[in-house]
Amino acid sequence: LGRRHRELYSGLPAPDSGPPLRRVVYVDHCARLSGGELALLRLIEALDVEAHVVLGEDGPLVGRLHQAGISVEVLALPAGVREVRRAEVDRGRLGLLAPAATALYVPRLARRLRALAPDLVHTNSLKSGLYGSLAARMAGIPSVWHLHDRLAADYLPTRAVKLMRRAVRTLPTALVANSQTTLETVPHPPRGGAGVVANPVSPRPERPLRPHVQRVGMVARLAPWKGQAGFLEAFAKAFGGTGVKAALVGAPLFGEEDYEAELRELAQRLGIAAQVEFRGFRDDVEAELERLDVFVHASVVPEPFGQAILEAMAAGVPVVAAAGGGASEIATDEQDALLHRPGDAEDLAAALERLATDAWLRERLAAGGRRRAADFGPESCAAQLAGAYASLLG
């Protein structure tokens, strides 16, 4: 596993090459505590740079950055641009390329970047990659686009894939992706080069496992591709009519509220409504993981990375994950997780039943998961990112 992990990052140079950085401006459209934003916070804390963050909205991330002593400001994006869903990112709904947004926001950000005078601009999301890279170009400042989304037709609308690949190739100076899976969806990286920098996870105190499985759950945004429906079907097969609880931690975003209603109806039809807890959005993910005896990842399309899997591993919770994509880069079947076929409720149910009846297996996977999560510590991931920065400026 260690060798595989080193190979994954072998395309990046040593972090001590090139001139030292003085100031980096980080740009993100979102101020919610989602995976990419939490990863950004951990990376900045571990990097030896003078960091300033420019967000497109106010939200919980602002307070977390302030608590960490990181300089931050909100340069509000128009709501119509900020709330565009990934499924709507195409030529007709890109928003950021609309004349009003281009004529007003991008030059405004470019003026702010000139005033801040950083050595480098780092964009952290699909939307901020577009407008932030454009603004950095206007300001004459090199930029790195940190790509957290697979540019593939099963993840984005077909028309958007070519457009976004072209943008990633031409707008930033260089590219880093959160996994090899994500990087492979960019066949032609920018001339400044490309590499992999994973999302970091912080270590957690070790805790003993409970002797019996009492609660099985997912921590993910409520969205069809995340696979909560398949999880409920598998849970009903494995634990329907028992005292075991199912926890769905997460809320719908970007107009996906109908999916939550569908999940509640599905739980009723499966006869498990009394066993299912809809926990909603939670700031304290660690506390939610503490309540779980088994963590489930059930995405039906390949994950770009799989941050929640790593969080569960670091917390010492046995993991069942859908094979493929970033999840398979993180987890190895039978060593630090059980992998199931994506979208196969029968296969997932069998894995859940196996874990519920085998305490030794749960202990073994929990220990293996902790060891694997240690490979993704903030210092390690920050060193890789610093290497990419040094290569770009060198």
The per-residue pLDDT string of the chain (394 residues; one tens digit each, 9 = 90 and over) reads 444 444 444 444 444 444 555 899 999 999 988 889 999 999 999 999 999 999 999 999 999 999 999 999 999 998 766 565 555 554 444 444 455 555 689 999 999 999 999 999 999 999 999 999 999 999 999 999 999 999 999 988 888 899 899 999 999 999 999 999 999 999 999 988 999 999 999 988 888 999 999 999 999 999 999 999 999 999 999 999 999 999 999 998 766 789 999 999 999 999 999 999 999 988 888 999 999 999 999 999 999 999 999 999 999 999 999 999 999 999 999 999 999 999 999 999 999 999 999 999 999 999 999 999 999 999 999 999 999 898 877 6
Distance CA 155, CA 304 (A): 9
- CA diameter of the chain: 63
Distance CA 141, CA 134 (A): 10
* Residues 356, 279, 348: CA angle, nearest 5 degrees: 35
Whether the model pTM is above 0.85: yes
What φ, ψ does residue 115 adopt, rounded to 5°?
-65, -40
What φ, ψ does residue 242 adopt, rounded to 5°?
-105, -175
Q: What is the pLDDT of residue 85?
A: 57
| Amino acid code (one letter) for 334 | E
Q: What is the CA radius of gyration of the chain?
A: 21
Give whole-number Cα distances, 366 to 167, 188, 355, 370, in Å: 41, 39, 11, 6
Residue whose C-alpha is closest to residue 226's, from 29, 35, 30: 35
Q: What is the pLDDT of residue 81?
A: 64
Burial class (CB in 10 A: 0-12, 13-18, 19+), 48: exposed
| Amino acid code (one letter) for 21 | L
Helical ranges in 68-216 per DSSP H: 79-82, 99-116, 126-139, 158-170, 180-183
Distance CA 22, CA 383 (A): 16
Task: Please give the torsion angle defined by the CA atoms of residues 230, 232, 233 and 239, in that order, rounded to the nearest 10 degrees.
Answer: 140
Q: What is the pLDDT of residue 35?
A: 85
**Sheet with 245-249: strands ordered across:** 276-280, 245-249, 215-219, 294-296, 319-322, 338-340
